[in-house]
Amino acid sequence: MGYTDHFNFEREPFSNAPNDKFYFDSEQHNQALLRLKYSVDSDKGLAVLVGGVGTGKTTLARRMLDNLPCEKYESSLLVMIHSAITPEWIMSRICMQLGVKNPEISPLKMLKQLYERLLEIERQGRKAVVLIDEAQMLQSRELMEEFRGLLNLEIPDKKLINIIFFGLPELDNVMKLDPPLAQRVAFKYTLKPLSADATRAYMTHRLQVAGSEGSPFCADALALIHKHSGGVPRLINTICDNALFETYLRHGTEVTAEIINNVAEDLGLASVGLTLASDVPEVPQEQDDEDEFDDIEVIFDGLEGK
């Protein structure tokens, strides 16, 4: 018997494992999606979304992909978790994700293949969209220049490809590696941690999805969860998950302030959360869960294609 049975949950409410059922449609995520979608539909070319660790960038990237139906868009999400990739590597991956069959080894021939494929997508009345998650890993001027070159693929009065970067705040410095590319950013949005009220709404949402008829967290515990997590969804999940397990081990029915403080101290969050909460503006936000999509490719072995 685990704490899910103890609290009569149908599933763990605060797991950080991927589960689209727990998606929390916060106001800022809704606004971000609306703006990103507008950027794509109006062929703005390049858009950027940044946010701190655990604030939900990946969730938003995958939600964006989910909102691009294949009958209207040829879309792909590439996740960068290796900084040693080359321009040729990223170009070949974009080509394959957008439907280019057997990309050439030569960069120029590959670019020609991509251009022809983009024209085909345009003739079909669809839009080509490439989402790049963890874009701060693109740490070279050559890579930035490659993306600038992709944005030059256009026909009169229309760009043939739309690119959206999702990354940590240091993405701003990466973009500066190629000032002309930085100047092409048509839209930028920054995700913030949750406010105290949004933290409560977030927790209530996840508890309801888990089948809870009420909240086992006392009022003082809720305030401490926001304080120690700084409003970062991933940390909220971690604190709550540990606190529920600790309460279960004590055979309790209510998560108390004492338990939250003990858990935060054990996790090393007691002081970190205070810094986060005071230094970061509070705006509603949601969890950083990850969903599964067939059009996602994780780029982690940047040397494999050499």
pLDDT tens across 46-105, in order?
999 999 999 889 889 999 999 999 999 999 999 998 888 899 999 999 999 999 999 999
Same fold, 27-192+289-299 and 194-279: no
The residue with greater pLDDT, 208 or 306, is 208
Helix-strand-coil split of the chain, %, nearest 5:
45, 15, 40
The fold adopted by the segment(s) 27-192+289-299 is Rossmann fold (3.40.50)
The residues spanned by each domain of the chain are 27-192+289-299, 194-279
Q: Between the CA of residue 10 and those of 7, 26, 101, 238, 241, what are the distances in Å?
A: 9, 23, 45, 18, 14
Kindly state the average pLDDT of the residues 146-168: 94
Q: What are the backbone angles phi and psi of residue 183, rounded to the nearest 5°?
A: -70, -15
Kindly state the average pLDDT of the residues 163-187: 95
* 3-class DSSP state of 56: coil
Q: What are the backbone angles phi and psi of residue 77, rounded to the nearest 5°?
A: -120, 120
Q: What are the backbone angles phi and psi of residue 297, rounded to the nearest 5°?
A: -125, 125
Mean pLDDT of the chain: 88
Q: Are 142 and 148 in contact (CB under 8 A)?
A: no
- In whole angstroms, what is the distance from residue 14 CA to residue 234 CA? 9
* Tens of pLDDT, residues 212-251: 989 999 999 999 999 999 999 999 999 999 999 999 999 9
What is the CATH code of the structural domain delimited by 194-279? 1.10.8.60
* Banded pLDDT at 270 (limits 50, 70, 90): confident
CB-based contacts of 58, cutoff 8 Å, min separation 6:
79, 133, 134, 166, 288, 290
- Judged by average pLDDT, the poorest of 18-22, 32-36, 44-48, 97-101 is 18-22
The pLDDT of residue 160 is 96
The pLDDT of residue 49 is 97
* Banded pLDDT at 126 (limits 50, 70, 90): very high
Q: Within 10 A of 163 (CB to CB), how many other CB atoms are there?
A: 25
Strand partners, 143: none
The pLDDT of residue 26 is 87
Closest to 161 (Cα-Cα) out of 298, 44, 299 = 44
* Entry pTM: 0.82
- Indicate left, alpha or beta for 43 from its phi (over 0: left) and psi (-120 to 50: alpha): left
Check whether 292 has a pLDDT greater than 70.
no
